[in-house]
Amino acid sequence: MTPILFWGLKAALFLLAVAMLCALARLLIGPTAQDRVIALDCLYINGMLMMLVLGIVYASSVYFEAAMLIALFGFVGSTAMAKFLLRGEVIE
Amino acid sequence: MNDALATSPLWADIATAVLVVVGASFAAVGSFGLLRMPTFYRRIHTPTLGATLGVWSITLATIIFFSTQGYGLFLHAVLISFFVGLTAPITTIFVMRVALFRDRRKPNPKAPVPPASSAPSTAPTPPAAPATTETP
């Protein structure tokens, strides 16, 4: 691994950690429930990107499947929360 | 030149590093905008920056890195960008309908008002079509 890739991956992990902290702050201080829903949506997308970057760091494609699962279940979770806020129940 | 085939070539490392940093920067800018914007209706725009350009850049970096490792073409990561590109607008539409519904239930002084020229006095009331389907 060349130094440019090493430091590029370090910088990307740092930026994604900052992004996750911003989303977490909005998740905690969000005044309304829909703010928290989009903060959680942003948080899982940032976590998925961090999984992909970690897959490059360790040169392992196992992280790719974890990122795929996060993408799948994050969408289901966000949609279920939106549906709950809209209707009062998830499955009617 | 032959011993360079064992590991990834230099151009692949540079391209991977640049794409990863660019994608992470887009995600960071989007999340910072989520923290910084004042109202919900502005806040919902910013995470899409990370969901589109951030995801595309980092999946492209993944494809370039794993394709130059010597195990052949690695195209599975296209699935992630395709799936996120398909589902992020659906989530945004759902949450936007939630926000409109909840602001109609309990009026929000910060809700956006359309320009006075296009929509006259019926500004805070959203279009009538979803109103009939959303009320339980």
Give the model's pLDDT for residue B125: 52
Give the model's pLDDT for residue B30: 93
Task: Tell me what the pLDDT averaged over chain B comes to.
Answer: 80
What confidence tier does B18 reach under pLDDT thresholds 50, 70, 90?
very high
Euclidean distance between CA atoms B13 and B7, whole angstroms: 10
Q: A29 by DSSP, 3-state: which?
A: helix
Which range is least confidently modeled, A53-62, B6-15, B68-77, B127-136? B127-136
Q: Provide the percentage of residues in chain B whose pLDDT is more than 90.
A: 39
pLDDT tens for each residue of A23-64: 999 999 978 888 999 999 999 999 999 999 999 999 888 888
Any long-range contacts for B6-14 (C-beta under 8 Å, 24+ apart)? B6/B70, B7/B69, B8/B65, B8/B68, B8/B69, B9/B68, B10/A2, B12/B64, B12/B65, B12/B68, B13/A1, B13/A2, B13/A4, B13/A5, B14/A4, B14/A5
Tell me if chain B has a CB within 8 Å of the CB of A70: no
Give the model's pLDDT for residue B5: 45
Give the model's pLDDT for residue B103: 84
For residues B34-62, give the mean pLDDT. Answer: 91
Tell me if chain A has a CB within 8 Å of the CB of B37: no
Euclidean distance between CA atoms B75 and B59, whole angstroms: 9
Tell me if chain A has a CB within 8 Å of the CB of B136: yes
Residue A83 is inside which H or E element, if any?
helix A62-87
Give the model's pLDDT for residue B114: 60
Give the model's pLDDT for residue B62: 92
Query: ipTM of this predicted complex?
Result: 0.89
Give the model's pLDDT for residue B124: 53
Tell me if chain A has a CB within 8 Å of the CB of B90: yes
Give the model's pLDDT for residue A36: 92
Q: Where exactly are the structural domains of chain B?
A: 3-134
Return the closest-CA partner of residue A50 out of A75, A36, A70.
A70
Global pTM reads 0.81
- pLDDT for B37 beyond 80: yes
Mutation target for A interface from B34, B45, B57, B81: give the one with most A CBs within 10 A: B34
Euclidean distance between CA atoms A34 and B127, whole angstroms: 20
Contact A12 B23 (CB under 8 A): yes
What confidence tier does B92 reach under pLDDT thresholds 50, 70, 90?
very high
Q: Where exactly are the structural domains of chain A?
A: 37-92
From chain B, the residues in CB contact with A67 under 8 A are 80
Any long-range contacts for B90-94 (C-beta under 8 Å, 24+ apart)? B90/A75, B90/A79, B91/A41, B91/A75, B91/A78, B91/A79, B91/A82, B92/A38, B92/B44, B92/B48, B94/A78, B94/A79, B94/A82, B94/A83, B94/A86
